[in-house]
């Protein structure tokens, strides 16, 4: 296949490109570098089956040559309100990527008679009133809240994708992606994984809000990409949750990180209104299991071990002053 991946320089987009190339496909990567990073694609320099086009998906898209699949992964995706990459600080770009970007990428799929896969998100469930969330849950989203620039853009993108499927017969897929971690994630993403890892590698006590009994579910990026790749090859048009349903308390998670990294200490702080990380969300992955035969296989300890070298490298670059510390001066909103 020849596959267009938008958001190719992002955390998930770049892993997706790698996987597609590993499977022998050709990839056209597209990114405007608003939140994506050149470093995430640096290792593909010289790869003959990889073509990169710098472009903003909210403008009309032209791709030379044939395409067999279009995978729309372009969007700011960090909920960290203190990061310049956070979608609340890129509200118009986020809504354009979700609406105009989805419209344009669906147009490309239509023009090329290619299958289309939308990267949707657990955020379409908003602040859910049901646990765990099945794909049949309609969600609980404030349409005019600060986070609506992301949530409503993705809900719109899903609705538009289904409209193209129903009305134009486009061969579409929708994946609802839950909390994912791994190499190439933003170090100031504002979520608990990068916050804890950066603190642990700096030898600082990990910041836990409240008593740490609140829970999270984390999926290692390789597992996620496996699920997405299986969905692409499937015939399933309805949305499919892909994420790791294993819940862990923040306190257990902090202890695990300290254990693996050889760090010590946990600093308890009063609970804050979590404006960064989502409220509790946990995927029901019955459909992914039944339709795709997919299950996450990387345990948390193994995933963290695989992620640490990336954060160590980032940190050593910070120490060498070769890159600016993106988290300096900003409070963590980790848990």
Contact (Cβ atoms closer than 8 angstroms) between residue 215 and residue 253: no
Residues forming the active site: 150
The C-alpha atoms of residue 244 and residue 193 are separated, in whole angstroms, by 14
Q: Which residue of 67, 77, 108, 174 would you call a contact of its own copies, by CB under 8 A?
A: 174
Q: Name the minimum Å distance from CB 307 to its own copies.
A: 32
The C-alpha atoms of residue 94 and residue 212 are separated, in whole angstroms, by 31
Q: Is 285 in the site for its own copies (CB under 8 A)?
A: no
The C-alpha atoms of residue 210 and residue 230 are separated, in whole angstroms, by 39
Q: Is the dihedral of CA 44, 46, 47, 53 positive or negative?
A: positive
Q: Which is nearer to its own copies, 91 or 326 (CB)?
A: 91
Q: Which is nearer to its own copies, 159 or 323 (CB)?
A: 159
Q: How far is CA 237 from CA 23, 73, 166, 173, 256, in A?
A: 23, 17, 10, 5, 38
Q: Is 144 in the site for its own copies (CB under 8 A)?
A: yes
Interstrand relation of 206-209 and 2-6 (parallel, antiparallel or unpaired): unpaired
- Map the footprint of its own copies across residues 99-118, applying CB under 8 A: 99-100, 103
Q: Which residue has the tokens 């910070």?
A: 318
Q: Which residue of 64, 143, 270, 329 would you call a contact of its own copies, by CB under 8 A?
A: 143
Q: Name the minimum Å distance from CB 237 to its own copies.
A: 9
Q: Name the minimum Å distance from CB 174 to its own copies.
A: 8
Q: Which is nearer to its own copies, 147 or 216 (CB)?
A: 147
Binding residues for its own copies, rule: CB under 8 A, are 91-92, 95-96, 98-100, 103, 124, 126, 138-144, 146, 148-149, 151-153, 155-156, 158-160, 162-164, 166-168, 174, 238-239
């Amino acid at each position: 296949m020849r596959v267009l991946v938008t958001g190719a320089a992002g955390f998930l987009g770049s892993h997706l490109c790698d996987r597609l190339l590993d499977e022998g496909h050709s990839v056209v990567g597209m990114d405007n570098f608003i939140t994506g990073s050149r470093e995430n694609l640096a290792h593909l320099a010289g790869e003959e089956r990889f073509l990169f086009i710098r472009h903003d998906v909210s403008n009309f898209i032209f791709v030379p040559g044939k395409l067999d699949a279009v995978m729309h992964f372009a969007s700011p995706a960090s909920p960290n309100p203190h990061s310049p990459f956070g979608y609340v600080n890129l509200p118009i770009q986020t809504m354009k990527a979700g609406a105009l970007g989805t419209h344009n990428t669906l147009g490309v799929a239509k023009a090329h008679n290619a299958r289309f896969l939308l990267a949707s998100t657990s955020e379409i469930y908003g602040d859910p009133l049901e646990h765990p969330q099945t794909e049949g849950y309609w969600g609980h989203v404030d349409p005019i809240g600060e986070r609506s620039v992301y949530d409503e853009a993705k809900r719109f993108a899903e609705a538009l994708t289904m409209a193209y499927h129903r009305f134009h017969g486009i061969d579409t897929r929708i994946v609802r992606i839950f909390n994912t971690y791994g190499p190439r994630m933003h170090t100031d993403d504002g979520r608990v994984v990068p916050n804890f890892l950066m603190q642990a590698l700096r030898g600082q006590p990990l910041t836990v809000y409240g008593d740490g009994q609140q829970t999270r579910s984390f999926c290692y990026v390789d597992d996620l990409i496996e699920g997405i790749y299986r969905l692409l090859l499937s015939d399933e048009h309805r949305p499919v949750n892909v994420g790791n349903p294993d819940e862990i308390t923040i306190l257990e998670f902090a202890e695990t990180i300290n254990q693996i990294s050889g760090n010590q200490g946990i600093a308890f702080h009063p609970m804050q209104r979590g404006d960064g990380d989502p409220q509790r969300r946990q995927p029901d992955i019955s459909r992914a299991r039944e339709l795709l035969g997919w299950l996450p296989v990387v345990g948390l300890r193994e995933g963290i071990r695989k992620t640490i070298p990336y954060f160590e490298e980032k940190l050593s670059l910070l120490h060498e002053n070769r890159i600016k510390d993106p988290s300096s001066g900003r409070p963590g909103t980790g848990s």
